């Protein structure tokens, strides 16, 4: 793997700022359901949410960015409401780089090139097409409903959403806008499983689509999507796609977060990586 490929994988991983028990597959609802009230839909989706204090998993990742493709194994671990790490190991279990996304900052170790990135979210404002906070990103990786900009979701939040029931109640869209006029659309099936999250940025015409599939019982015997597909579009054109295939999903096991930076590593900025990776016409 070349250093350009590593930076390329890193950039998308940050931009979309993504079990030991036997798995039992669960399906989506296909039978006709009676129409539910908005509050009943909201409550059902929350009841189906995957519960965890810590989460660990093995991922196989397929990445396509501007026609370039690559795959890698990734070890994933999360401490809820605190931080999560992705250890990218493209071959022989050797870590090439490590990403840590916390509540206030992003850190990256590029072991091949002996360099690192450490940026606060405030410093990244305006440098990514779609902005959202740590808690929103945590929800995307764990198939959970969220209110834009909020740390927690509670029963009172059901009034924040507009509800559109489809196909005799077997699917429902839940829509909400944030203060910046980004539109969030959550689609759930008749059982309350979240099937997708879509974020539309109307001014720059960016769209982030996060789809969930292959639901299986994992961890605490709640349904968890073993496949996630993430698409980034601008004005309808595909900019990037990443597919995440989960295995070995465990919740509430001890998790140790380590992110020590070797003294000889050179610090670089997010903007330096963006300039090295993305064509000049895309860099603003």
Distance CA 232, CA 178 (A): 19
Q: What confidence score (pLDDT) does residue 267 get?
A: 94
Predicted TM-score (pTM) of the model is: 0.82
Q: What confidence score (pLDDT) does residue 264 get?
A: 94
Q: What confidence score (pLDDT) does residue 283 get?
A: 41
Q: What confidence score (pLDDT) does residue 237 get?
A: 86
Task: Confirm or reject CATH 2.50.20.10 for domain 3-23+35-282, answering yes or no.
Answer: yes
Residue spans of the domains in the chain: they are 3-23+35-282
Task: List C-alpha distances in Å: 90 to 9, 78, 100, 159, 231.
Answer: 11, 20, 18, 45, 22
pLDDT > 50? residue 31: no
Write out pLDDT tens, residues 241-262.
999 999 999 999 999 989 999 9
Write out pLDDT tens, residues 60-110.
999 887 777 888 999 999 999 999 999 999 877 889 889 999 998 889 898
As a whole-number percent, the residues of the chain with pLDDT over 70 amount to: 79
As a whole-number percent, the residues of the chain with pLDDT over 90 amount to: 51
pLDDT > 80? residue 34: no
Contact 4, 143 (CB under 8 A): no
Q: What confidence score (pLDDT) does residue 180 get?
A: 81
Mean pLDDT value of segment 190-203? 91
Average pLDDT of the residues of the chain: 82
Q: What confidence score (pLDDT) does residue 177 get?
A: 93
Q: What confidence score (pLDDT) does residue 271 get?
A: 73
Mean pLDDT value of segment 37-51? 93
Q: What confidence score (pLDDT) does residue 269 get?
A: 84
Write out pLDDT tens, residues 223-232.
899 999 999 8
Mean pLDDT value of segment 104-126? 84
Write out pLDDT tens, residues 125-168.
665 555 557 899 999 999 999 998 888 999 999 999 999 988 66
pLDDT > 50? residue 30: no
């Amino acid at each position: 793997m070349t250093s350009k490929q590593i930076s390329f994988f890193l950039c998308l991983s940050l931009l979309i700022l993504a079990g030991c028990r036997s798995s039992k597959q669960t399906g989506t609802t296909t039978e006709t359901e009676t129409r539910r009230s908005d509050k009943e839909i909201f409550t059902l989706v929350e009841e189906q949410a995957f519960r965890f204090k810590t989460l660990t998993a093995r991922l196989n990742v397929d990445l396509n960015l501007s026609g370039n493709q690559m795959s890698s194994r990734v070890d994933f671990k999360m401490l809820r409401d605190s931080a999560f790490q992705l250890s990218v190991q493209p071959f022989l279990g050797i870590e090439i780089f490590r990403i840590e996304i916390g509540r206030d900052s992003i850190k990256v170790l590029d072991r091949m090139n002996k360099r690192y990135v450490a940026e606060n979210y405030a410093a990244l404002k305006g440098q990514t097409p779609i902005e959202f906070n740590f808690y929103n990103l945590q929800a995307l990786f764990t198939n959970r409903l969220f209110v834009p900009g909020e740390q927690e979701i509670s029963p009172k939040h059901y009034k924040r959403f507009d509800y559109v029931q489809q196909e005799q109640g077997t699917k429902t869209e839940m829509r909400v806008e944030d203060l910046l006029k980004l539109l969030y659309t959550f689609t759930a099936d008749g059982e309350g499983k979240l099937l997708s999250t879509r974020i539309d940025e109307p001014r720059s015409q960016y769209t982030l689509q996060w789809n969930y599939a292959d639901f299986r019982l994992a961890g605490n015997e709640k349904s968890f999507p073993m496949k996630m597909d993430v698409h980034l579009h601008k004005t309808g054109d595909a900019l990037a796609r990443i597919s995440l295939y989960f295995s070995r999903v465990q919740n509430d096991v001890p998790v140790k977060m380590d992110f020590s930076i070797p003294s000889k590593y050179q610090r670089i900025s997010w903007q330096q990586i963006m300039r090295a990776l993305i064509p000049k016409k895309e860099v603003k």
